[in-house]
Amino acid sequence: MYFLDKMIDKRIARYQSDLLATHYAEVENMYRQIRGWRHDYRNHIQVLKSYATMGDLEALKRYLDELDTDLNTVDMAIKTGNKMTDVILNSKISLAKSKDIQVTADASVPVALTTAEIDLCIIIGNLFDNAIEACMELPKEERLIRVYMDMKNTQLYMSFTNTTAGKKLNKSQGRFLSGKGVGHGYGLVRIDTIVERYQGYLNRNSEEGAFTTEILLPQ
């Protein structure tokens, strides 16, 4: 039993390491785009000045439209008030949109949280990854993820809902099983472990066409 527990712990640790590496890669990609845009900022200003000097308002408007489109691809879609939450949510929203998944998000989080950043990263990252994977089984027009985060008195409340292909997940000993088969589902275990450690509340609801996870973490 001890050997089995150690093996599971190693798999979970490896999963956590891979998850964080993925998150940081996504964030780095997002900020690389932002740095690139800032680097080109002076050149954009010079072009706009030139069009204005020549009185070519049509070219000026067209260039501004192109810049607006370009900037929207790297702008922070969500500003919660908490830097780490912004980074995680925006990197995942960017990833979801690149896969033609509609995302609606409403999040307000205090600047200071007692929840460790690594734990917040693991929870939000896993919830989003699971939601994205479920949505990819659907036609583009049916893919949807809804995110809501806010403070409920002294607790951080999180709700993630995603559309599904209509299949209800199976439960074993009161827990939903991963549909990926044996050797998977560590993300669900990590979320459960973190919520239990903070003595929080977790509820998952699987119904036809949708899956929802709700979490409360004391602060």
Q: Give 16-84 as a DSSP string.
A: HHHHHHHHHHHHHHHHHHHHHHHHTHHHHHHHHHHHHHHT-HHHHHHHHHHHHHHHHTTS-S---S-HH
**pLDDT at residue 181, rounded to an integer:** 42
DSSP assigned state of 136: T
For 1-48, how does the pLDDT look when each residue is reduced to its tens digit (9 = 90+)?
Answer: 555 556 655 665 665 556 566 656 655 655 666 666 666 777 777 888
Distance CA 138, CA 134 (A): 8
For 107-129, how does the pLDDT look when each residue is reduced to its tens digit (9 = 90+)?
Answer: 988 878 899 888 888 899 889 98
In the chain, where the domains are located: 77-218
Instruction: Give the tokens for residue 125.
Output: 């990252």
Hey, what CATH topology would domain 77-218 get? Heat Shock Protein 90 (3.30.565)
Quote the pTM value: 0.66
